[in-house]
Amino acid sequence: MPQTPDTTAITAGRDDSAALSPTLWPNTVWETSGLHEARKRATGFRADSFYARFGNPTVTQFESAIAELEGAESALAFGSGMGAISTVILSLCSQGSHIVAQNNLYGATLSFLQGPCKRFGIDVTFVDPATPGSFAAAVIPGKTMLVIAETPSNPLLGITNLAEIGAIKGPFTVVDSTLATPLGQRPLDYGVDIVLHSATKGICGHNDALIGVIAGEKDLIDSIWSYSVLHGASPSPHDALNALRGLRTLSVRLERQTNSALEIARNLQSHPKVASVSYPFLESHSQHSLAKEQMRHGGSMVAVELHGDFNTCDSFVSSLTLAHTATSFGGPETLVCHPATSTQAGLGDEILASMGVTQGLLRFSIGLEATEDLLADINRALNAI
């Protein structure tokens, strides 16, 4: 019987020392035995005991754990999720390249595609991921270098069909799987080329590391590494240590968070102050069956639209006592944010409207508090508005 990913999260990414917790190598530089050895490390691939921008043993431990969990030959970590996204794009695209991307990506990813990419002469076509065949139809043979998807999407928790992305041949396909975590889905199993995570979120899980990671076939990851050494969005070994430590408890954290998220989503659905609730494992989610098919859990985020506007959201959020107003997710504390003025701020009203991000929308990251306490707090604050 194959080992479950929950167990792999405990067994993967160990070095050959007897230490049970990850070993921290804070070094930026290593001595070499002579010039021949120095040349070998400087000109070869991914030396992790040479200079920290090339690699670091603590980071390597984290990367090998992610590779094993994602069923990949190789993984590469970065200084943040955005470091991963920008490096992947700039390593694989040049002036005149074309990208197909879904239209409801995380705000900073969208901003990167609309701003710097445009400035560098990289064209982007945005597609509706819920329309079957939309990605493949937008691919321009010989010109499209990348197809970028994010599932579940941030903040509205839309689901993109992984099999559809994996079936696209020609351009490299990338799936941002941050909201699912490596224990929630495995895009590479569907033929996707690169899976990407902001490990800042659920993987690390304690709001104390900023780190991103990608995984895929060795040759592809090596070629992205060759560019990443010049780009320089290198991860801190301290953050890699925290991310690997976080990975060890991800399964039990997700069990609590996803059970609470589903119960809270179910409960809020029938509240008179709530216009709509989006949660992938909620039967009312428009892509519920696809979510059930490709995900092991529904995630720890719940999108809730209130009847009202920014001020309604502001007074609701102000009267919550357990949930903190903050924009990240995946940590122990329940967080709530107003996407239109935080994660998606600056995208403009037209784009926000096309994404379905209204002024009444709030995004909850469900933490590790007891479900009944969270429900009591949320219902009390809702009744007060």
Binding site for ligand PLP (CB under 6 A): 80-82, 106, 108, 150, 154, 176, 178-179, 198, 200, 210, 212
Minimum Å gap between C-beta 211 and ligand PLP is 7
Minimum Å gap between C-beta 39 and ligand PLP is 35
Q: In terms of CB distance, is 188 or 381 closer to ligand PLP?
A: 188
- Candidates 199, 196, 200, 139; CA nearest to 171 is 139
Q: In terms of CB distance, is 125 or 328 closer to ligand PLP?
A: 328
Contact 379, 267 (CB under 8 A): yes
Q: In terms of CB distance, is 361 or 382 closer to ligand PLP?
A: 361
Q: In terms of CB distance, is 85 or 323 closer to ligand PLP?
A: 85
Minimum Å gap between C-beta 204 and ligand PLP is 9
Q: In terms of CB distance, is 127 or 204 closer to ligand PLP?
A: 204
- 3-state SS class at 212: strand
- Candidates 220, 221, 201; CA nearest to 211 is 201
Minimum Å gap between C-beta 203 and ligand PLP is 10
Distance CA 306, CA 359 (A): 9
Cis peptide before 152 (omega within 30 of 0): yes
- Candidates 359, 339, 358; CA nearest to 106 is 339
Minimum Å gap between C-beta 105 and ligand PLP is 7
Q: In terms of CB distance, is 182 or 382 closer to ligand PLP?
A: 182
- Candidates 170, 188, 334; CA nearest to 264 is 334
Minimum Å gap between C-beta 163 and ligand PLP is 20
Minimum Å gap between C-beta 35 and ligand PLP is 38
Local structure of residue 51 (DSSP, 8 states): B
Residue nearest to ligand PLP (CB): 81
The residue with tokens 């490096």 is: 87
Minimum Å gap between C-beta 127 and ligand PLP is 17
Q: In terms of CB distance, is 60 or 80 closer to ligand PLP?
A: 80
Task: Please give the structure tokens belonging to residue 175.
Answer: 């799936």
Q: In terms of CB distance, is 81 or 367 closer to ligand PLP?
A: 81
Kindly give the residue spans of alpha helices, DSSP state H, lying in the chain. 5-11, 35-43, 57-70, 81-92, 107-114, 116-119, 134-138, 162-166, 218-231, 237-269, 288-294, 310-319, 349-355, 371-383
Contact 118, 124 (CB under 8 A): yes
The residue with tokens 């470091």 is: 83
